[in-house]
Structure 1
Amino acid sequence: MDAGELLAERDHVLVALDGPVAEGLSAHRVADRLRALVAEDRLPRGVARTTDPFAVLAHAAAIGPATERAVHAQWRRVEHEVVAGARVAPGVREAFAALVARGVRLTVVGVLDVEVVRAFLVLHGLDAHVRRLVGRVRSDRAAPDLVASAVHAGAVPVRSCAFVGGTDADLAAARAAGVDAFRHRGAAAPEPVTGADAWFGALSATRPTWPRIRG
């Protein structure tokens, strides 16, 4: 069976935003942008050198709630800039429509603020196919386990779920959650493949066998 048929046998498919849905997401130097809001004080060495925005947010929270709110608001502004420059992955609209037509529930999982993820989906007409969104929320002061959260939110047995991700970290999180996974390799530019075939064709199973779920 091809990737589309394998995914269509699952009740719940989790899809990472970065790569499988949005290409060109570049969040480099986000920590630098956030650090500028707290740079008037002498920063601890770890905060001064970190590339982790959560570390800067934690330092801002230690300063006070107003500083924490300002840093979080800046983080969201930076992420809106990032998604504004991102591209829709080839064939993702058609692939989502095909999966939903087969009765599959779709959840998009992103490390960005959940409202930023929603904005990208709405902007590109993908929101009609997506049942749930899982992303960072304002109460998060550390990086959440988003894949596990998405599985739990879907209220579907793990064996009935599949995950599509584009990074090693995404796929490791899926394995930790006990979810079978596909790696999205990105578009193969020389191949004249369009529509859902372009998206499904960019997927490869990360495990040698996939059990059939539906009869």
Structure 2
Amino acid sequence: MKAMIYDSPFNRSSFNRALLVAFVISGLLLFIPDPMLAKLNLAGVMAHYGAAVSLIYLGILSYFAVQALSMIWQAMSERWRWNRNQDLARNKALSFDHEERALLREFFLQRRSSLILPIHQEAVQRLTQTCVLQEIESNEPLQEGQARFVIAASARPFMTSNNLRLPVSELTDDDIRYFKAARPEYIKAQLKQQWREQLKAQRRQAA
């Protein structure tokens, strides 16, 4: 059963602009001198509706104050979360085990910003829980138990050659053989599957 979607006429930006206009007008009416009110023929209006104008002014002022405090709180929360994630990633980067290090090297060896990984694999879970890996949404068809992951932005400064045991210079043949042998089995299986699919596609094109 499909959910019914209703178009809401409410627009927060337009609403805030209307409140700002009302705030400025009510503020002017409250704070301009009485002689100026008399010249503008507004003294009678303020005599009858001054209390209502004051309530409007205070109400809008309170609304904007709450919005400002909410934005400040949100910014502080995001900053705290970013610092916490960085601390977790920094501490984890100092204690990568063999499999975690080999897994993270794949992003650099395959020159990809994201990889499809098994969600329930222990190394993937550990790196996700310590904010090194981050699962992202993907519209592509994936096998059950798999998801697409990226290295989290807060962890990228700690993905150094030293932490990942990557050579600073160009990879040698010995380096390539070592990294291929050190790959986790699920990465090897995934690369074999990709190679088979590419080979099938080439054969179809040649037929």
**Greater fraction helix:** 2
Of the two, which has the highest radius of gyration? 2
Question: Does 1 or 2 have the higher relative contact order (CA < 8 Å, sep 6+)?
Answer: 1
Normalising by structure 2, report the TM-score: 0.24
Normalising by structure 1, report the TM-score: 0.24
